[in-house]
Structure 1
Amino acid sequence: MSEAPPPDAPGCAGAVARYRSVIDNDLAMGHVNRSVHAQISNEIGEAASACSSGQDGRALSLLRASKSRHGYPG
């Protein structure tokens, strides 16, 4: 299994890593429950898949939609 990109990675890989970090932290702090975290994680996984297949625009669009749906900025 490959290592996840760091949050400061360029392009969609960094955007995926940053959002994943935020929701993982929100789960740890009790700001989201496990079912919401699982739903967002699935959405991030879809964006990560698009990103890894070279579909940067689609990946970023999926992240924006997920953030909007769940009340996260930008």
Structure 2
Amino acid sequence: MIFTDNGGIAEILKSIRVHGKGKDKYDNVRIGINGRLDTIQAAILLAKFEIFPEEIERRQTLAERYNKALG
């Protein structure tokens, strides 16, 4: 999942999401991917959203430790 407030970036990412499609169905303007989740992947992602804030906090704590140790 990607969040942006930049319309140009949003359009590029939408194009990549649908195999590089441009304005027309048969207008392929870039190399794209099929990044859609299957049912199992979606279920796992939904479950991970519940612990997402704690994971971010843990990562931030570790980053601070690395900065102190290496800085």
More helix by percentage: 1
Larger Rg, first or second structure (1 or 2): 2
TM-score relative to the length of structure 2: 0.30
Q: Greater relative contact order: 1 or 2 (C-alpha under 8 angstroms, separation 6 or more)?
A: 1
